A and B are shown apart, each in its own frame.
Chain A
């Protein structure tokens, strides 16, 4: 470095991240955000960046099961946590019920916001399987979509939740019998 008045934030550090059940070690700068490390270091490009300031929700991932804005967190802060990205939803080529619901309800057009909404819904429904459509609409308002007008996103999540509840009720019934 020629100009030593410039403070370098570029010191690399080694961090360990648990993403989608796999353990990764990454050498990266302390200032890199979680979403950048997921996308560019781990090449998990399903998670998107729409604003980098925590408003649009395109970067939503699950950190210890809760939806989190991956642009507002440094990767180093996620050490020791369980991170889940959109790449974890499908089982091989088999789409999850939530992913299928999005497709069936035309809850995506360009699809750029979709991973964020999927992870938001995945985290939310795990916590509130009983959610009403109104509550779902509240949660959907956390993220931005510029294409769909939101209605079909709400409908997709609601349909998925309803189907899950039905399946659960059936399973409970058959257990009781």
Chain B
């Protein structure tokens, strides 16, 4: 810390990350790093067919393989099912059970059928090869058309036409008349490919029964430890206090780890049965093909415009392919409900109608991946504006300018109230940067030379502070939202803070500590965060939907302030003054205006009194130094916003899309740690570009997934991901205790739309417009090199 930084608040500064020392030294502890005495290793027998009745599962040869200790089917273990629920009428939502191990039917290639436990992972894998499973195959349901057909084969018998969710959340009266009378109506038909969130660390767990604690200790790689505990206790029929979930360091999650996985529960069941620790580490092949996937959606949307380019109405039909099962706790509703509720986004849309459906198919199930539906609907809305601009002869930024929300708070046609943001400012600044750097001139000059350069934008907001009320509106039966935090000071004056959120790369150990250190006037080195341990943390909803700093950070801040109040009260009693006269700053407890040594105490001296000299405390102050606070967001949440600007060049011969420039103007309110915010933007943008240009899991006619290794699943490297320049705007949030809005997902939300718009801009002379991601070199090549007419 430099001299002039001393005494300044830590919030707002890029202090060194607390987690780095162990992570750069190889001393992080990830789940596969855990080794326990007598530990066994599990692998799963997985379905090789996409859809079929299970006739028999014969594990007798498996059990004879050297090194195999045990093998269990669903019947052997008798574990309860995982069933995600929405509190909606049956016409809108059909609940379906996800058995921990498939029992009667298999519904996707890769579905776990049996667990094989060996002395090491090699032995367990040997065992898999000896499993004999007989199926009576059923025709696989692999696409929207087949799934929704009148005579469709059913993935779940209870879900007619394979529809799990069917909701029409909004339908403005008279909307058809608006379309009929409009100056111009534009339409798009947008589809997005199935993707894998792909944390670099695959999923995994280590489970064992701890005799002394009389507890199942489940160390698992999850974003939602408390929810895993709840499901484990129910499936295994244990009291919830008899399950402790502990999350070690996590190598990313991005949503794939914010739902409860069946394998971690099965590993726990096997550990209980065998009385020995069992480890399961998902291999990459399983992670690619059989883990939770995401993103496959189809939007048919149209928008009505007046002659000035003002949007009059938006009408959309959304179909999300959720794969074989509804994930816990979010259900298959997560994507269609998110899209339906939030599609109007940053624009003043006066009339709105939407239908959102989730369908079930014989593909690996989906989880909410970073951004959840917003990368898609932002793409849809931004495409509609681009198309309208083209047809009305308007500049594509100008048409957005005429439509973005500028008066706050603004209540939209979707009944959501948007808190203040910088929608117009971000748009203007982003365009300015691209223009000042000369990209418009470059585009013009390139066109003359026959090169294809295009510029694209995406302007969007990202709802982040989802509180319980926002989730309750979705009628989730398990309602995420609040978070609880406890701050505890020990006799040495050092502090431990707990949070129910769970960092998997977002630097909570640093950012939460910054918040606490500021509130208590402590050196950050004296603050330590506990997360991801259900025995240490009262309750929490984990980390997803960019909620950690907005909700979790607010709880941390409030708890720290409460503890600060107590410190002040004790000091005031000792000085025989008022608590208002006491300040906590620069590692000291000081009497305001005082200048002598007697006007200063250390935190340790106060803590000493609180614990070891309680006789000195006034009667109304309890001994000890702990404080707890809960935080929830009671309005519609808070909205980060951004505009992304992209310049691409399309290569005539290869169809390759090269990103020449990427500019991001973001506003996430108060940035606790600007470097971390930028890291979130860059990482998010990389995943967004991956979705726009590279990654897709497809299925062949029998339901085999195409991507089972990194040879087939194209994860972009430093070759493909450009430098990103980031500009910050700051509209502090009034609804959170920190002024922060979430920053986790924006990059992923904006990139696909901006890239797609840029590609379409470059394709303009060809007359082709693309509405599917990923944009493959083949499609670009075809657009640039049309077959000569014979």
Contacts and interface: CB of A to CB of B under 8 A. Distances in A.
User: Is A bound to B?
Assistant: yes
B201 A50 contact: yes
Interface residues of B, number: 63
Interface core residue of A43, A55, A112 (most chain B CB under 10 Å):
A112
A40 B35 contact: yes
Interface string B453-477: 0000000000000000000000000
A95 B30 CA distance: 21
B25 A108 contact: no
A68 B23 CA distance: 20
B20 A102 contact: yes
Nearest to B717: A141
A31 B122 contact: yes
Contacts of A104: 16
Interface in A42-76: 43-53, 55-56, 58
A43 B25 CA distance: 14
Interface residue SS majority, chain B: loop
B197 to A, nearest CB: 8
Interface string A135-157: 00110111111111111111000
B24 A109 contact: no
A32 B25 contact: no
Nearest to A32: B122
A168 to B, nearest CB: 23
Contacts of A50: 200-202, 284
A109 B683 contact: yes
Interface stretch (B5-13, B105-113, B707-715): B707-715
A3 B191 CA distance: 52
B678 interface: yes
A39 B682 CA distance: 31
A108 B252 contact: no
A148 B505 CA distance: 10
Given A99-B25, A109-B683, A52 B676 contact: no
Interface string A86-98: 1101100001000
Contacts of B28: 46, 111-112
Interface string B248-273: 01111010000000000000000000
A141 B719 contact: yes
A31 B120 CA distance: 13
A107 to B, nearest CB: 9
A106 interface: yes
B66 interface: yes
Contact of B721 (A9, A115, A151): A151
A95 B717 contact: no
Contacts of A172: none
Interface string B274-304: 0000000001100000000000000000000
B687 interface: yes
A109 B23 CA distance: 9
Instruction: Give the one of B25, B28, B199 with max A CB within 10 A.
Output: B25
A138 B717 CA distance: 10
Nearest to B19: A111
Instruction: Provide the main secondary structure of the chain A interface.
Output: loop
A142 B710 CA distance: 13
A40 B717 CA distance: 29
B27 A46 contact: yes
B24 A108 contact: yes
A113 interface: yes
Which of B21, B26, B199, B710 has the most chain A CB atoms inside 10 A of its CB? B26
Interface string B715-752: 10111010110000000000000000000000100000
B177 interface: no
Nearest to A95: B24
A108 B200 CA distance: 12
Contacts of A58: 200
Contact of B23 (A87, A89, A114, A143): A114
Contacts of B200: 48, 50, 56, 58, 110, 112-113, 144-147
B587 interface: no
A48 B251 contact: yes
B675 interface: yes
Contact of A6 (B14, B66, B682, B711): B66
Interface residues of A, number: 63
A49 to B, nearest CB: 7
B685 interface: yes
A10 interface: yes
Contacts of A115: 26
Contacts of B679: 106, 109, 147-148, 152
Nearest to B679: A106
A6 B19 CA distance: 47
Given A115-B26, A147-B679, A149-B685, A110 B251 contact: yes
B201 A147 contact: no
Interface in B497-531: 504-507
Contacts of B721: 149-151
B198 interface: yes
Contacts of B724: 149, 151
A51 B685 CA distance: 23
A111 B251 contact: yes
B87 to A, nearest CB: 35
A36 to B, nearest CB: 8
Given A144-B200, A148-B679, A110 B250 contact: yes
Contacts of A154: 718
Interface string A1-45: 111001011100000000000000000010110000001100111
B20 A46 contact: no
A40 B684 CA distance: 33
A87 B25 contact: yes
Nearest to B673: A106
B112 to A, nearest CB: 19
Contacts of A55: 709-711
A137 B718 contact: yes
A44 B24 contact: no
A103 interface: yes
A153 B66 contact: no
Contact of A141 (B25, B684, B718): B718
Contact of A106 (B249, B678, B715): B678
B268 to A, nearest CB: 22
Contacts of B685: 149
B677 to A, nearest CB: 10
Contacts of A47: 26
17 contacts: A9-B126, A31-B122, A46-B28, A48-B30, A50-B284, A53-B710, A55-B709, A89-B26, A108-B23, A111-B23, A112-B30, A114-B23, A138-B718, A144-B715, A146-B252, A149-B682, A153-B718
Interface of A: 1-3, 6, 8-10, 29, 31-32, 39-40, 43-53, 55-56, 58, 85-87, 89-90, 95, 99, 102-104, 106, 108-115, 118, 137-138, 140-154
Nearest 10 A-B pairs (CB), nearest first? A46-B26, A112-B251, A111-B23, A110-B505, A149-B682, A109-B505, A55-B710, A86-B26, A149-B686, A45-B33
Given A39-B32, A53-B709, 18 more contacts: A9-B122, A10-B67, A31-B122, A50-B201, A51-B709, A51-B710, A103-B20, A106-B17, A106-B676, A109-B252, A109-B507, A111-B249, A112-B201, A140-B717, A147-B679, A148-B682, A151-B724, A152-B682
